[in-house]
Amino acid sequence: MKLIRTRSEPQLSTDNPHGARHTWKLLVVDDEPDMRELTRINLKGFRFADRDLEIVEAASAYEAREVLAQNPDIAVALVDVVMETDDAGLRLVEYIRKELKNTVVRLIIRTGQPGLAPERYVIDHYDIDDYKDKTELTATHLYTAVRSAVKSYRDLRTIDLNRVGLQHVLKSAPDIYRITNRSLDQFFQGVLTQIIGLCNLSGSSFISTVDGVIATFDNHEAMLQAASGSLASEDRFDRIRSQCSEAVLTGQMPNGLRKDAYVVPLLVQRAPVGFIYIEPTQDLDESDRSLIGMMAQQCSSALENLRLHIDLTQSYDHMLDMLAKIAEFKDSTTGSHINRIDHYTRLVAAELGMSEEEAILCGKASRLHDVGKVGIPDAILRKPGKLTPEEYEVVRSHTQIGGRILADDRILEMACDVALHHHERWDGSGYPEGRPSREFHMVTRIVSVIDVFDALVSRRPYKEPWEPLRAAQEIENGAGTQFDPTVVPAFLKLYRSGSFDSIIFAAQHESSFPEPQTHQAAL
């Protein structure tokens, strides 16, 4: 995963100018003011890895503790041994390593009285990185010692950042790969949040804020999917759209993008499907770029998985619709009934505490409750008059026919349960198996209630619609015998609140209730 970067001068944006570069912090702990001043003079102009040196001072070990508390990003500490006590510096080293548990800061002991702290003893018994006698610490030697220590600090922080970054990627992976029915805009906003979070993992990344966008290609046209900061403006995105697309398609950063901007391609099977564009307030170091590239690669894979999932979900929805339409064409009087049952089911499932996603799945399963009617002869199914006992038995067999139709596919397991058992009763006196309905899926028990209610309030060739209040009372009377006593109160609450009014109106006026918009998977 290649990050395409630019070093050109800013062309498009001056609303987010770069701030000061991050500096390497050197703590000088010495009770001699002249020694602290000499250190400043000898290290004047010090630069490493394009960053300046910032010197902070402490006149005692006690004062140094306060400075460390205010500056957790100290890179190197030059520590005198003899200050308020003969071993104050050594006690400070123990405090840093054992109490602060700071194993990254580089510690250099610098003493003018080596007899009080012999080098070999100090090296063997204290976790320090260097030992210098002040008499031998010339300007050149001081520069060399500090440069080596800063380099070691940088390398350790890079390793630590990679470790933290890996933890962050692993922690975020379940969110990225979690397959849900959430829309793609939620997915992309989550990815962008992860990228920005990755850029702010620790102080060593030297990034204060990040503006970014994620875009995908639709017939080579970049479509905005998620944005943060100033880039959330449609106008800002329009100004970088073509340049970012060119960068991804050609591998070269064109003129016109802000200095230190980055374009990270999103690749699926090596083909660009979009990009992540970021504008850090300060340049990213190699560790930052590596981690962002790793994250972008994971996001590309997750995007492909999500698209495949949505394709499968759409195929599943289409299959449900086709099966439901078969039942509708077989019995035209129940065509709109299928859509109404779907809508009722979602509302009741949500009222019972199911998530939106679970309620949607329940609604889909409910659409196939009468699919078994495809096996019922038309002469019986469309008979305008009262059925004979023999004909009624034939109609009852639609549950078993529906169960057989749906039994061989795991993804239709819930729908199969509904089709086979939605005429079972709470007291076990229903059909086809005569088992208590508590043994079946909750959606089956929901459909048992609303199927009866919708049939009662609907107009049929052989009956006039009931008044909704009378039908609701019938449902209430059946709680604990015919119906699940936990489903009925939820149903009645929604009925009394008016949540079902539009569905009931559609049933009584023989018009097809429109499918809920959430029925279609979002893509």
Active site residues per annotation: 373
What is the three-class DSSP state of 488? helix
Query: H helices within 139-285, ranges in order?
Result: 139-177, 184-199, 234-250
My answer on whether omega of the bond before 432 falls inside 30° of 0, hence cis, is yes
Report the relative pairing of strands 24-29 and 74-79 from DSSP bridges. parallel
Cα distance between residue 381 and residue 374, in whole Å = 9
Nearest to 258, CA basis, from 229, 280, 225: 280
Q: How many CA atoms lie within 13 A of 32 on its CB side?
A: 14
Cα distance between residue 291 and residue 308, in whole Å = 26
Residue 463 has phi, psi (to 5 degrees) of -160, 155
| 487 in Cβ contact with 446 (< 8 Å) | yes
9-12 contact pairs (CB < 8 A, 24+): 9/259, 10/258, 10/259, 11/255, 11/256, 11/257, 11/258, 12/239, 12/240, 12/256, 12/257, 12/258
| 71 in Cβ contact with 28 (< 8 Å) | no
Query: H helices within 200-334, ranges in order?
Result: 234-250, 286-330
Cα distance between residue 233 and residue 222, in whole Å = 15
Residue 327 has phi, psi (to 5 degrees) of -65, -35
CA 326 distance to own-chain centroid:
39
| CA 371, 375, 379, 385 torsion-angle sign | negative
Q: What tokens does 305 get?
A: 């998985």
Cα distance between residue 147 and residue 140, in whole Å = 11
Distance in angstroms between the alpha carbons of the first and the last residue of the chain: 25
Residue 21 CB-density burial (10 A; 0-12 exposed, 13-18 middle, 19+ buried): exposed
